[in-house]
């Protein structure tokens, strides 16, 4: 069994919402479409993004049995008025269930995280309809994952026994990062790193029960590589950094990450730091900054024992999905 | 022999420049002072920052024979008019020579990088007076290290056979990072990561001769951990990411990093990725987010051979210093 916990979709039937600045989908042909943001091309996509038959073919080719299918974060809409956020989520989530009709595609919903009550309500609606988890962005404007409203939503997920997948989005802009995909190459790892720091120092892991199952995309960003710097700072500048009850390393085991680090040495550091129970295959399928073939790094990493490899390829995901 | 390539100083005699917003030094006692920025406390410092006798005691305690002594980046002044930048650099650099009068303290100067001609001139003046290298910030406002003016300065350093130490500074601000020292814990590793990416994709290593000796602080930021993601992107989105003649991994060997990663697993990844000739002891002495005792991680890392350990502790630094 092989489970890929990090894949995205865009529904081909995404409607024109008619709001200025809302992401739009321009269908270019039977097999191609373009995501537009403010009428500018954000990303060209192919039918592996929306057509279940094409996805299943790719999965067969890569030896993947099941995929967690999450929204493409540019569609989150957290920056919009709450009622628009609800509408976006409902449209996206209902279309996701059409894509994920078969047993191999596991739908994760999105929620209007700018409004915790509405987010909890949309989550419950989606669970009743067949969604198996939720993908959230790593921040809501200037609020990070320790924001009281976000924590309330996470608490709700813990109570409902729902897995949470955290994906970076809405990246810092500026001339130095708006070239060479630096927002993806540098911004995304830093964003996720920051959010894990906020979860720890904001005391979220101190307050939310350990039944919360939460996974961070792209290997948890740069967190694992910089744990030592974080730990040192927590001890030596406790006046400024000591927001958690215990030192940062205490909270390893409270979250998982995916394997999308593209390098055997980086995967090894992840497994050595976070533990072999807390890393799961995640490919970022079908996007070009993802791993292709999905799972190749885990399959080939010589340092993994057979047991560890099986955990990373499926068993950890099965536990995460519940 | 043990050489620490990453230490900072602030001269106790730093004068009031009288410009609004310029960093100031408030001497609180014989042994304590406070760096002020816009009249707010930026950092309290002790006499190990400016008193050579105290520094040498600390070095003896830690088993460090020699230190490269660089400016504290908040004093760079790249954001000021060029003539002010020159004045700041001259004052700072001349006071550094007083601190580094003995053979164990190796002074690195700073330059007004906002003006390449003036930067080259100040470098030459400093070299004539006894400086052995230069520390630069990782960007000048919106210009990264591939900016033509910065590249001209780097070219000058290569011609003069002068080692360059790159330190992150002037970090992105905002509510999410202005707490818990997140600018230091997340911002600094991301800034340096971005600058190495800019050096590669901006074609700097393609244009500047390989006589350039350049070292990046804090293990090169998150670069080494994310090389795989970078390499994958360069190949799969060459239309957007392919700014260099060769793939990113080709340029390993063109730069060094210090060892300030505070974790054996992270150090191992650095050495495995960048090579044992390109990692050097750097402690960030005397600041509290630095390594204390300096060099402890290298001395204790069980995966290092005796040869590799000697390289990291001194031989690589000797080659870097020239």
Q: Is residue B202, in this structure, part of any structural domain at all?
A: yes
Find, in chain A, the residue whose alpha carbon is nearest to that of B237. Answer: A288
- In the structure, what pLDDT confidence band is assigned to residue B55 with cuts at 50, 70 and 90? very high
Question: Could you read off the pLDDT of A64-119 as tens digits, one per residue?
Answer: 999 999 999 999 999 999 999 999 999 999 999 999 999 999 999 999 999 999 99
Q: Which two tokens stand for residue A96?
A: 């996701």
Is the predicted ipTM greater than 0.85, yes or no? yes
Q: Is residue B24, in this structure, part of any structural domain at all?
A: no
Task: Please judge whether B288 and A261 are an interchain contact, meaning their C-beta atoms are less than 8 angstroms apart.
Answer: no
Mean predicted confidence (pLDDT) in A298-307: 98
Residue percentage of chain B with pLDDT more than 70? 100
Give CA–CA dist B96/B105, Å, rounded: 10
What pLDDT sits at residue B138?
98
Mean predicted confidence (pLDDT) in B42-58: 97
To the nearest whole Å, the CA of B202 is away from the closest chain A CA by: 9
Q: Is residue B48, in this structure, part of any structural domain at all?
A: no
| Residue A22 pLDDT greater than 90, yes or no | no
Give CA–CA dist B203/A226, Å, rounded: 28
Residue A278: closest CA among A248, A247, A307, A319: A319
Q: Is residue B141, in this structure, part of any structural domain at all?
A: yes
Q: Is residue B314, in this structure, part of any structural domain at all?
A: yes
What pLDDT sits at residue B22?
86
- Alpha helix positions (H), B29-147: 52-62, 82-99, 116-129
Q: Which two tokens stand for residue B22?
A: 């310029």
Find, in chain B, the residue whose alpha carbon is nearest to that of A260. Answer: B229
> What is the SS3 assignment for B163?
coil
Question: Could you read off the pLDDT of B158-207 as tens digits, one per residue?
Answer: 999 999 999 999 999 999 999 999 999 999 999 999 999 999 999 999 99
Q: How many domains does chain B have?
A: 1
Q: Is residue B15, in this structure, part of any structural domain at all?
A: no
Which of residues 291 through 310 in chain B touch A, CB cutoff 8 A?
291-292
Average pLDDT value for chain A: 97
Residue whose tokens read 């992270």:
B266
Q: Is residue B36, in this structure, part of any structural domain at all?
A: no
What pLDDT sits at residue A20?
86
What pLDDT sits at residue A39?
87
Give CA–CA dist A283/A293, Å, rounded: 8
- In the structure, what pLDDT confidence band is assigned to residue A303 with cuts at 50, 70 and 90? very high
Mean predicted confidence (pLDDT) in B26-44: 94
What pLDDT sits at residue B39?
87
What pLDDT sits at residue A151?
98
CB B130 within 8 A of CB B287: no
Question: Could you read off the pLDDT of B90-144 as tens digits, one per residue?
Answer: 999 999 999 999 999 999 999 999 999 999 999 999 999 999 999 999 999 999 9
Which of residues 162 through 201 in chain A touch B, CB cutoff 8 A?
172, 174-177, 179-182, 184-187, 189-190, 193-194, 197-198, 201
Please name the member of B180, B190, B198 whose beta carbon is closest to the beta carbon of A197: B180
Domain limits for position A37:
3-321
B198 contact residues in A (CB cutoff 8 A): 176, 180, 182
Give CA–CA dist A309/A315, Å, rounded: 9
Question: Could you read off the pLDDT of A175-201 as tens digits, one per residue?
Answer: 999 999 999 999 999 999 999 999 999
Q: Is B67 on the interface with A (CB under 8 A)?
A: no
Domain of A226, CATH number, reads 3.20.20.140
- Three-state DSSP string of chain A: CCEEEEEEECCCCCCCCCCCCCCEEEECCCCEEEEEECCEEEEEEEHHHCCHHHHHHHHHHHCCCEEEEEECHHHCCCCCCHHHHHHHHHHHHHHHHHHCCCCCEEEEECCCCCCHHHHHHHHHHHHHHCCCEEEEECCECCECCCCHHHHHHHHHHHHHCCCEEEECCCCCCCCCCCCCCHHHHHHHHHHHHHHHHHHHHCCHHHHCCCCCCEEECHHHCCCHHHHHHHHHHHHHCHHHHCCCCCCHHHHCCCCEEECCCCCHHHHHHHHHHHCCCCEECCCCECCCCCCCCCCHHHHHCCCCCHHHHHHHHHHHHHHHHC
What pLDDT sits at residue B322?
95
Around Cβ A216, how many Cβ atoms within 10 Å?
A: 27
Count CA atoms within 13 Å of residue B264 on its CB side: 9
Question: Could you read off the pLDDT of B206-247 as tens digits, one per residue?
Answer: 999 999 999 999 999 999 999 999 999 999 999 999 999 999
Q: Is residue B301, in this structure, part of any structural domain at all?
A: yes
């Amino acid at each position: 069994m092989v489970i890929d916990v990090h894949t995205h979709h865009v529904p081909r039937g995404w409607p024109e919402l008619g709001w200025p600045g809302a992401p739009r989908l321009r269908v270019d042909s039977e097999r191609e479409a373009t995501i537009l943001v403010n009428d500018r091309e954000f990303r060209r996509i192919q039918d592996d993004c929306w057509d279940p038959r094409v996805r299943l073919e790719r999965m067969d080719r890569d030896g993947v049995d099941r995929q967690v299918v999450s929204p493409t974060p540019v569609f989150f809409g957290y920056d919009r008025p709450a009622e628009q956020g609800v509408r976006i989520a409902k449209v996206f989530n209902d279309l996701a269930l059409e894509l994920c009709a078969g047993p191999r595609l596991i739908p994760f919903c999105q929620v209007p995280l700018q409004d915790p009550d509405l987010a909890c309500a949309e989550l419950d609606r989606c669970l009743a309809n067949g969604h198996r988890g939720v993908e959230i962005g790593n921040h809501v404007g200037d609020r990070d994952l320790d924001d009281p409203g976000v924590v309330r939503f996470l608490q709700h997920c813990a109570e409902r026994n729902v897995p949470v997948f955290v994906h970076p989005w809405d990246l810092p802009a500026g001339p130095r990062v708006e070239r060479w995909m630096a927002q993806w190459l540098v911004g995304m790892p830093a964003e996720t790193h920051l959010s894990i720091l906020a979860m720890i120092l904001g005391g979220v892991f101190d307050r939310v029960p350990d039944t919360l199952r939460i996974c961070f995309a792209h290997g948890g960003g740069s967190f694992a590589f910089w744990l030592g710097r974080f730990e040192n700072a927590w001890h030596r500048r406790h006046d400024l950094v000591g927001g958690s009850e215990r030192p940062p390393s205490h909270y390893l085991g409270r979250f998982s990450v995916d394997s999308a680090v593209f390098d055997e040495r980086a995967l090894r550091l992840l497994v050595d730091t976070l533990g072999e129970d807390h890393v799961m295959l995640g490919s970022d399928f079908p996007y070009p900054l993802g791993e292709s073939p999905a799972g190749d790094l885990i399959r080939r990493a010589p340092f993994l024992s057979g047991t560890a490899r099986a955990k990373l390829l499926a068993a950890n995901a099965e536990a995460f999905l519940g």
